[in-house]
Structure 1
Amino acid sequence: MTIYFYKVEEPYGCFSNFSPHPIQIDGWCWQTVEHYYQAHKFVGTTDEALIRTIKNVSTPMEAALLGRDRTRNHRPDWEQVKQQIMWRGVLTKFLTHPDIQQILLNTGEDVIVEDSPTDYYWGCGEDQTGENHLGKMLMNVRQHIRQHLAQANCKLVDR
């Protein structure tokens, strides 16, 4: 089976980076993974002041709009680091919130697809030909958590 997600209010909406699941990384609390991800486009740039602005905006859509502003200076290594930054945010989200971690684990081996009609990198795009990197990352997070839980259970048994 394939699980499609996109909007927060729809089934599996907790998989969206817009879902209201705060994360804490490096002493900073981010309202959503989207806030975290978009802010990191400006680390070490002349627009670095935008990081605090993005961190403090009310909604993930506002964070996304600020982060996608092409008139701003994104970090030059963004294409090289964006997957690592997304991984850290998504993994932290699912390790922090046991309720949605269980939803992710309950997907079994199902394929997970971000059904974004406009995003052909993180999602599948309107015609389903996109790269679906967010869906693939969620499946990798699912596997990572399973391995982590299995190791923890082995340690308990070994005692």
Structure 2
Amino acid sequence: MTLYWNKHRFHSVEQAFQYEKALRHGEKSLASKIDQSRHAGIAKKLGRQVKLDPRWDIEKERLMYNLLRTKSRQCGEFREKLIESGENQLLENKPDPYWGIGKDGKGMNVLGKMMVELRSELLQRMEKEKSKPKAVVIGSSLVKNMRGDWLSSRVSTDVHIAYTIPAAKEKMQDIPCDTNVVLFQLLSNDVKKMSESKCVEDLENLVKLTKEKCRSARIIISLPPNRGDSRSLNTKTDVVNAHVKSLFAEDNIVSICDNSNLSYRGEPNRRFICGDGVHPTPEGEKVLFANIRRAIEGVL
């Protein structure tokens, strides 16, 4: 798994916990070593070198709970398993007498108790989510870092990765019929393999399929931004975008999110596009995701 925390990427909650522990105790050099460690066991071993402040006993539980909460938001598999555990007692089967049940089974099981508390929080949140409008984002790797629960507090949003229009058609088979908004962030890969007319035709068919599947849904086409990897592909993208705008101009169900604020005079803004000329930088993601959020909220 990958855990994003404090502007860093970690391979486990343990690594993030030990990194934060070192950092909070002023051990920047040790924190850097933990950040570079490859396994949770190594991170934990390095973390034992920290000279602990008495306040740490108060801080560590709050930190661990926040890390688990973050994991539940970023890792769907972890979240689902936690919810599927129902009302069962959860035991952290580790020899640690504080975080786990200990070698004799009489440990404090703090981590297990945190899981139960987090499960209760997730179930309460799910009840609240049921009353919100439902949106689905289906898109290429441009939205791979998008998290539905970060996108908008007003809408319950699920994000599905589909690199091409044919892949998006397959994803649509699993989308609930009562979805209120379906947004597509496609075409970036399709323009590399198909003609302009074929891209538009396939997108039109995808929209028809969506209208048949989700009869009450509003549909949003989030256009691919200008690209810097190929001038010919950038021109082709402009042509496709223009055709898509024209095609759905009179459609009351379909809206366009043109993402032109990621470009300048038809060329990608280098602040917003990575070195590959296609994928957004972290700053570019903020702009793109804000565009998508406004587009979704705007049709509800």
> What are the Cα deviations for residues 28-87 of structure 1, in whole angstroms up to 9, with x where unaligned?
111110001111222243422211210110110000000123xx3234421110001101
Query: Who is 2:91 aligned against?
Result: 113
Secondary structure of 1:112's partner? Answer: coil
Alpha-carbon spacing, 1:44–1:33, altered in 2? closer, same or farther (3 Å): closer
Structure 2 residue runs without a partner (length 5+): 135-299
Secondary structure of 1:24's partner? Answer: strand
Alpha-carbon spacing, 1:78–1:112, altered in 2? closer, same or farther (3 Å): same
State the Cα distance separating 1:94 from its structure 2 match. 1.5
Alpha-carbon spacing, 1:135–1:52, altered in 2? closer, same or farther (3 Å): same
Secondary structure of 1:137's partner? Answer: helix
Residue 3 of structure 2 aligns with an amino acid whose one-letter code is: I
Residue 147, structure 1, aligned to residue 149, structure 2: no
Alpha-carbon spacing, 1:76–1:42, altered in 2? closer, same or farther (3 Å): farther
Residue 122 of structure 2 aligns with an amino acid whose one-letter code is: I
Matches within 5 A, 1:29-40: 29-40=9-20
Q: Which has the larger radius of gyration?
A: 2
Deviates more, 1:38-47 or 1:93-102: 38-47
Residue 101, structure 1, aligned to residue 43, structure 2: no
Alpha-carbon distance in 1 for matches of 2:27, 2:132: 46
Alpha-carbon distance in 2 for matches of 1:52, 1:74: 18
> What are the Cα deviations for residues 88-123 of structure 1, in whole angstroms up to 9, with x where unaligned?
111111211112211111100000001112x11101
Residue 85, structure 1, aligned to residue 63, structure 2: yes
The match for 1:68 among 43, 48, 51 is 48
- How many equivalent residue pairs? 135
Alpha-carbon distance in 1 for matches of 2:87, 2:105: 20
Secondary structure of 1:114's partner? Answer: coil
Residue 152 of structure 1 aligns with an amino acid whose one-letter code is: E
Residue 69 of structure 2 aligns with an amino acid whose one-letter code is: L
Alpha-carbon spacing, 1:44–1:116, altered in 2? closer, same or farther (3 Å): closer
Which stretches of structure 1, 4 residues or longer, exceed 4 Å deviation after superposition?
none
Structure with bigger RCO (C-alpha 8 Å, 6+ apart): 1
Residue 42 of structure 1 aligns with an amino acid whose one-letter code is: A
State the Cα distance separating 1:133 from its structure 2 match. 0.4
Matches within 5 A, 1:26-65: 26-65=6-45
Query: Who is 1:24 aligned against?
Result: 4
Secondary structure of 2:9's partner? Answer: strand
Alpha-carbon distance in 1 for matches of 2:36, 2:45: 13
Query: Who is 2:144 aligned against?
Result: none
Contact in 2 for aligned 1:123/1:130 (Cα 8 Å): yes
Alpha-carbon distance in 1 for matches of 2:46, 2:105: 27
State the Cα distance separating 1:142 from its structure 2 match. 0.9
